[in-house]
Amino acid sequence: MQTVALVGCAHIHTPGFVNRLKARQDLRVKLAWDPDPARAQRHAEALGASVAQTARTIWKDPEISAVIILSETNRHREHVRAACAHGKHLFVEKPLGLGAVDAYAMAHAIEAAGVIFQTGYFMRGLPAHQFLHQQVQAGAFGTITRARGSNCHHGSLAGWFDQEWRWMADPRIAGCGAFGDLGTHALDILLWLLGDPKIVTGQTAVVTGRYGDCDECGEALMRFPGGAMATLAAGWVDLANPVSLQLSGTEGQAAIIDGQLFFQSTRVAGADGKKPWADLPPGLPHALDLFLNAIGGGSTACLVTPREAAVRSAVMEAIYRAGTLNRWVKPRLPKG
């Protein structure tokens, strides 16, 4: 039986995470803290937990082995450093940091502390993504030439960020706007498949103006060391997102359309791309459940590494900077 705590309850995914925690029989949530006492109280009551008056109460509690950090992005570094200093395993909602410097500082602290880490890139666990990752590793696409990731919804049109989650539409607090918020998920999949890009560019746009000058959509273009090019689309002003991923190479191609995978490869029998591909591996548990399994003694093999999480923040920062400068930019990547 593991004992965990919530550090911050600000993220839009908090209610969903609370439900996942309530469904677990192998842990208890002892404490919840948030700078807004009413918000902390609401989620603590749902979990049968107590409200911590300060975050320090959580760090000093020897019973608490792990924390789930759902605070605003500009608070992550403070909370991650404290968790590492007190040997707490940590799940941190995405994005890890406000940019490269912020994210790499956290990644280094996590690695030095030797604690278990995970972030909220749940899309890796989808059966189609698991399958494509396996096929890329097996060479079923030959030389990959291009890819496209897209992650969009209608959140701005529907006013999702008008009240409690207004901070997510304030780049000073969130570190980004719509493009970074949703795009980081599709970016994670692209980098998971293709590796780290060597150079990027992009543009973002304000569409409705509902959240001032916060961007509501964007597009990016990336080049990878092997020669592949990838585009990335994300935003809060789309009524639908029918084609979420495309991948093309000299010997294969794939597209995920309305959640169905169409796969063609000269190296895989029956892969003609004409009908949905049904021979998929089982999906993985949600990213949070993978973390909770790991702190209970399960495998850490499918967790996102601190380095991976930091690179996503660094690449996204470079895309935003490229849009401001109207040119290509090299992301700040770790040496080696």
- What is the pairing mode between strands 252-257 and 260-265? antiparallel
Question: 210 φ, ψ to 5°?
Answer: -60, -30
Helix (H, G, I), strand (E, B) or coil at 256: strand
Residue 171 to residue 178: CA distance in whole angstroms:
9
Read off the pLDDT of residues 198-212 as tens digits, 9 standing for 90 and up. Answer: 999 999 999 999 999
Are the beta carbons of 254 and 245 closer than 8 angstroms?
Answer: yes
Q: What is the pLDDT of residue 336?
A: 62
Inter-residue contact 256 to 105 (CB < 8 Å): no
- Integer CA distances (angstroms), 85 to 65, 88, 89, 284, in order: 13, 8, 11, 31
Q: What percent of the chain has pLDDT over 70?
A: 100
Supply the pLDDT for residue 50: 98
- Would you state the structure tokens that stand for residue 297, as one six-digit string? 């003694």
Q: What digits encode the pLDDT tens for the residues 290-322?
A: 999 999 999 999 999 999 999 999 999 999 999
What pLDDT shows up at residue 335? 81
According to CATH, where is 3.30.360.10 located in the chain? 123-282+303-325
Task: Calculate mean pLDDT across residues 257-274.
Answer: 97
Instruction: Find out if CATH 3.30.1360.230 is the number for domain 123-282+303-325.
Output: no
Q: Tell me the HSE value of 18 on the side-chain side, using a 13 A CA sphere.
A: 22
Percent of the chain with pLDDT over 90: 99
Give kind and range of the element (H or E) at residue 232: strand 229-235
Cα dist. 153→64, 185, 233, 243, 255 in Å? 36, 13, 11, 12, 19
0.95 exceeded by pTM: yes
| Burial label, 251 (beta-carbon count in 10 A; 0-12, 13-18, 19+) | middle
58-68: per-residue pLDDT in tens?
999 999 999 99
Tokens read off for 255: 């597209």
Sequence-distant (6+) residues with CB within 8 A of 332 are 100, 104, 314, 317, 318
Nearest to 248 by CA among 276, 221, 275, 229: 229
Average pLDDT over residues 59-83: 98
Kindly list the distances between the CA atom of residue 323 and the CA atoms of 4, 98, 316, 320, in Å, as whole numbers in the listed order: 40, 17, 11, 5
| Average confidence (pLDDT) over 92-113 | 97
User: Would you state the structure tokens that stand for residue 168, as one six-digit string?
Assistant: 């997510």
DSSP bridge partners of 247: 147, 254
Question: Do residues 310 and 97 make contact, with C-beta atoms less than 8 angstroms apart?
Answer: yes
Mean pLDDT of the chain: 97
Residue ranges, CATH 3.40.50.720, the chain: 2-122
Which residue in 220, 217, 246 sits closest to 231, CA to CA?
A: 220
**CATH code, residues 2-122:** 3.40.50.720
Task: Provide the pLDDT for residue 36.
Answer: 96
